[in-house]
Amino acid sequence: AGCYGKDLGGQFPPGFKFGAGTSSYQVEGAWNVSDKGVNILDKFVHDHPTSIKDLSNGDVACDSYHNWERDVEMAAELGLDYYRFSLSWSRILPTGFPNKISKDGVKYYNKLINGLQAKGIEAMVTIYHWDLPLPLQELGGWTNPLIADWFEDYARVVYTQFGDRVKLWLTVNEPISFCDGSYNTGVGAPGVLSPDVGAYICNKHVLLAHAKAWRLYDKEFRPKFNGRVSLANNLLWIEPYSEEYTDLAELALQNSAGRYSHPIFSEAGGWPPGVEEVIAKVCLEKGYPRSTFPSFSKEEIELVKGTYDYYGMNHYTSRLIREAHPDEKLLPWPYGDAPDLKAKMTVSDKWPATVVPWFYVNPKGIRKQLAWLKQQYGDLEIMITENGFPTYHGLNDTARIDYYKKNLKQILLSINKDGVNVTHYTAWSLMDNFEWADGYTTKFGLYEVDFNDPKRTRTPRESAIYYASVIKNRSLDIPSNTTKPKQKQK
């Protein structure tokens, strides 16, 4: 049965794995317990409370530091093959450096990893999801070239501590968000506005940091632990507003997806074609004596090239792009427009809006994005490391179910019709959490979290029941009665 045609079927290939994700700052809370150091998110939310919609912060969040057993239980209720979470750098290394390793910090992650393992759930671990230790920020953070070595040192600690049990690693999550998103707007940690300079420097250093951490694993840890390492890129699918903008849309993809992919995944390595030239031109026009977009040396190109075991893709939404009119106001990249390309980003009126302004629904975008990756970088193994949908509170989340269903259907088409090797799908998020500048106002959770309850009680939404049945059946063709709301929690 099912509505996808007999030839296709709603069945996922054998070995396909389903997960759900969270990140340390968004769920852990316990911002100052034991010897945890302060990070740039702790500082940003305390210094700029009005930058967060509901004036909230992640001091307590879902209190997963204390509620990790419930988190593991939820992962088991869903039947997840793996749980994606991130490590808090300053919880493990209070100074940011490996001169001191926090026993309590390591213990927390051991409890979580072992708890998952006891239920047969793998851990997919993100080493960095935006919570940089403050002492490193005070030395320039991602704009200091030494960050690549500091990150490698930190990676060595976590591979050593957890590598015997963790086989899937992501070095960094969404460089486009913590480089371009932060420095181009100044709204978000570390709260530094440096649109023409900071974001570009960060871009380069993230790639070097990732590469060093990958090479370290490859050389010292792979032989004994045999795991796999990549990074998670946020890919915004971009289409031309009309045919005349086809080349512009391709350049925009190179300047977004390509900026963090070409150096690692292409055969040639280095920045993607066309991008350095375009940015150099804009810099000169703005009065800089030379390009502020840093180039790679030959050695750096070689260092970064090939540092992957799979492609990690976060995907949510799509844009249309067109040339800007002269004097048209352009909002900062990547959640506004594309000023580097003198281009305006819009959306199709066929794409339904959601509760957040950056998110319009275009399920076909994910299939096109996957095909683009294959066409650009060859027949890679692709793991979808995030995909999910925002709502306001409420357990009856049919719009979220619809989003998952339609995206999963497109992924099946991608696998079966386009021959793309997608092997993992990660729903974002396991539970509602601190959604950055939106605070707790918008919810991405399969489980609803009651943030007024000191216990932070978690309750499954209808989408949790739906996702659990997809996982159980390994198929989109699931009996219709399984999506009825059902309280799993006492």
Give me the residues that bind ligand NOJ (CB under 6 A), please. Answer: 23, 26, 173-174, 314, 386, 428, 435, 444
Minimum CB separation of residue 444 from ligand NOJ in Å reads 6
Decide the pairing of beta strands 228-234 and 122-128. unpaired
Whether 86 contacts 24, CB under 8 Å: yes
Q: Tell which residue, 5, 34, 41, 32, has the closest CA to residue 434.
A: 41
Of the candidates 77, 152, 300, 386, the residue annotated as catalytic is 386
Minimum CB separation of residue 389 from ligand NOJ in Å reads 9
Minimum CB separation of residue 173 from ligand NOJ in Å reads 5
Question: What does DSSP assign to residue 4?
Answer: S
| Cα dihedral 466, 472, 476, 480 in deg (nearest 10) | -50
Nearer to ligand NOJ, 343 or 408 (CB): 408
Nearer to ligand NOJ, 10 or 312 (CB): 312
Nearer to ligand NOJ, 59 or 438 (CB): 438
Cα end-to-end span (Å), the chain: 34
Q: Tell which residue, 465, 461, 437, has the closest CA to residue 449.
A: 461
Nearer to ligand NOJ, 386 or 448 (CB): 386
Q: Is 174 a catalytic residue?
A: yes
Cis bond leading into 414, ω under 30°? no
CA distance 479 to 249: 41
Q: Is 462 a catalytic residue?
A: no
Residue with tokens 């540092």: 307
CB atoms near residue 482 (< 10 Å): 14
Nearer to ligand NOJ, 77 or 386 (CB): 386
CA distance 353 to 374: 29
Minimum CB separation of residue 442 from ligand NOJ in Å reads 8
Minimum CB separation of residue 176 from ligand NOJ in Å reads 10
Question: Given phi > 0 = left and psi -120 to 50 = alpha, else beta, which region is 240?
Answer: beta
Of the candidates 28, 174, 239, 435, the residue annotated as catalytic is 174
User: Which residues are marked as active site?
Assistant: 174, 386
